[in-house]
Chain A
Amino acid sequence: MAALLRLKDVSAGYGSFAALFGISLSVESGEAVGVVGPNGAGKTTLMRVISGLLPPTGGRIELEGDDLAGAPSYRIVAAGIAHVPENRRLFPRLTVEENLRMGAYLPQARKHFAERLDGVYGRFPRLKERRAQLAGTLSGGEQQMVAIGRALMSKPKLLLMDEPSAGLAPLVVDQVFELVRGIRAEGLTVLIVEQNVRRVLEVVDRAYLLETGHIRLAGSAAELKENAFIRQSYLGL
């Protein structure tokens, strides 16, 4: 089967500091794939490289076979990859609706702005109530809804999510994972990075374990849950 996203031997770093060493992974269309690992493993760097925020120092990043490595991020969004960045990164002094409008900036998305806005408001009725409120004044969970809604406005083929549960209250974390489950049930392909290994393995089909910039393990969620190393180091069992 042709992969939607395929990374081949991708390396990246900051200046003379290398953060990723020859990463190869793939995501099939319709799959939810997780990348788990400890703090500083390079998970966020991996996301930034895929969405073009950080140019890779080597390797290929293919979306439906086209190499996107080194392309500017505005082209990568146009190609169909939307990125929900770490810490949400909303525009705090824009309203909720203006943040969503920014997510539909691309010409092909603007045409469908009204219907997609309805879609996001249907998914998050709370945001419709708060649409004229400044994004910076929302709670953490609401901000995460805006960040996800903003990414969905471009109707991506692949949704990248970087630590969507970070910094949220336990109850809200439940909601976020429920949301991920819902999004993938609709057939959207998701690549999600998480420190919360136990929770993410419940919602993804497959996962990769990233440690110090290398992929240590790969397998289905069920396999990884039973893996002795994962159980000991990450699940505390």
Chain B
Amino acid sequence: MDIYLLEAIINGLLLGGVLALLSLGLNLIFGVIDVVWIVYAEIVMSAMYGVYWLYSYYHWPLLLACVAAIGIGALIGVLVHVVVIQPILGSAPINQLLATGGLLFFLQSLATLLFGTDYRNLGIRLPVIEIGDIFISFSRLIAFFMALVGAVLLYLFLAKTYLGTAIRAIAQDREIMGLMGVNERRIYVITSAIGGGLAGLAACLLVLQYDVHPFIGLTFGPITFMVCVLGGLGNMIGGFIAAFIISQIIAVGGYYFPVEVAEVLAFVFFIVMILVRPQGILGK
């Protein structure tokens, strides 16, 4: 096989990891709370600024800054739920959509106000690994494996703990959760914290590869939504699979065509799939 094609496939796989992590968070929130956080990528952006600021300005060790960023993501997640979503939980879905959409512009503007529109990066140059004739960026490799670790931890939490089981159960029968002794509002807050924390983890992985600026969310926000819808909104396994499909289309497409064309191909694939399977790959 063409060595450059193989390199493209590997890069696509690595890109898919972070995309899968983002889709897990968004699907978790949607599955449990039944709300789409349009603002999700902006939580990632905020946490990226968190890493940047703690590392570059306050000179925290990178690992500690990353842990803090996960905390920042979780905190923003809780605030999004308690301040914005909880008061309008009973209202029409479009209102919730508009509210989180409004929050997107709020966070973008706040970031612009606080940090300006400069592109900032950590100034860390991670090595590029050469295996045979294939070049793999070390930061992408770290991102891929950390995304997998995050996904596995989330899986174990959902499968093995009481809280995780309740989170899966709540999407199946909301009304009777109270009969199990479950405080539904508390589950929503915890789920929001986890969803926000996953955004924080994704931020740590992305800030190693990309400059942060107030509009960075637009780079991967739309693609994350596309992945979630393609997989079947709320279906975490579907989203996980879709993330790797989309990233392969972009990576392999980018090998044959300019990268912009590759992204167009991904969206064309998405549109066709939505016509053929509107419920998503694994949706019901």
Contacts and interface: CB of A to CB of B under 8 A. Distances in A.
A224 to B, nearest CB: 29
A51 to B, nearest CB: 6
Q: A72, A82, A98, A154: which has the most chain B beta carbons within 10 Å?
A: A98
A214 interface: no
B258 interface: no
A191 to B, nearest CB: 15
Interface in B159-199: 162, 165-166, 168-169, 172-173, 175-184
Interface of A: 51-53, 72-74, 76-78, 82-83, 85, 89-94, 98, 101-106, 109-110, 150, 154
Contact of A77 (B166, B169, B180): B180
B172 A91 contact: yes
A109 B173 contact: no
The 3 closest A-B pairs by CB, nearest first: A73-B178, A106-B181, A77-B181
A89 B182 CA distance: 15
B166 A53 contact: no
B183 to A, nearest CB: 5
Contacts of A51: 178-179
Contacts of B181: 74, 77-78, 105-106, 109, 154
Interface residues of B, number: 17
Nearest to A77: B181
Nearest to A136: B172
Q: B162, B166, B177, B179: which has the most chain A beta carbons within 10 Å?
A: B179
Q: A76, A105, A106: which has the most chain B beta carbons within 10 Å?
A: A105
Nearest to B169: A91
B173 A53 contact: no
Nearest to B168: A94
Contact of B173 (A52, A73, A89, A103): A89
B173 A74 contact: no
B176 A85 contact: yes
19 contacts: A53-B178, A73-B178, A74-B180, A74-B181, A74-B182, A74-B183, A74-B184, A89-B173, A89-B175, A89-B176, A90-B173, A91-B173, A94-B165, A94-B168, A98-B168, A98-B169, A102-B182, A103-B180, A105-B162
Interface string B127-162: 000000000000000000000000000000000001
Contacts of B173: 89-91
